């Protein structure tokens, strides 16, 4: 038995939505996180110019489409639902 907790990484669409929404207008330490998000995922450019629920809808649609194109990510996420940091 290990004295260290087990660390498990998993895909979480809900978390992706929240993090994208929160970081879209964040500039910290000279880094524009929203700009970085849009550079990686140009489909989210419209979300950067919106606020509130309009932004949430754009991000949610994007992540839904993104995950639907990645079936292994959906399967992994549902299989590991409820398991996270420190779980075994």
Q: What is the pLDDT of residues 20-52, one digit of tens each?
A: 999 999 999 999 999 999 999 999 999 999 999
Alpha carbon distances (Å) from 81 to 22, 55, 66: 23, 26, 19
For 10, counting Cβ atoms within 10 Å of its Cβ (0-12 exposed, 13-18 middle, 19+ buried), the class is: middle
How high is the mean pLDDT of the chain?
A: 80
pLDDT value of position 82: 47
Cβ atoms of residues 84 and 14 within 8 Å: no
Q: What is the pTM of this model?
A: 0.67
Residue bearing the bigger pLDDT, 88 or 5: 5
Q: Where are the domains of the chain?
A: 13-79
pLDDT reading at 80 higher than 70: no
Nearest to 38 by CA among 52, 14, 53, 55: 55
């Amino acid at each position: 038995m290990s004295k260290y907790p087990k660390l498990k990484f998993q895909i979480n669409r809900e978390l992706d939505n929240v993090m994208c929404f929160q970081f879209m207008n964040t500039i910290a330490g000279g880094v524009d996180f929203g700009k970085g998000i849009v550079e990686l995922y140009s489909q989210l450019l419209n979300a950067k110019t919106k606020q509130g629920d309009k932004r949430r809808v754009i991000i949610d649609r994007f992540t839904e489409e993104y995950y639907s194109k990645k079936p292994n990510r959906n399967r992994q996420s549902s299989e590991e639902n409820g398991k996270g940091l420190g779980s075994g």
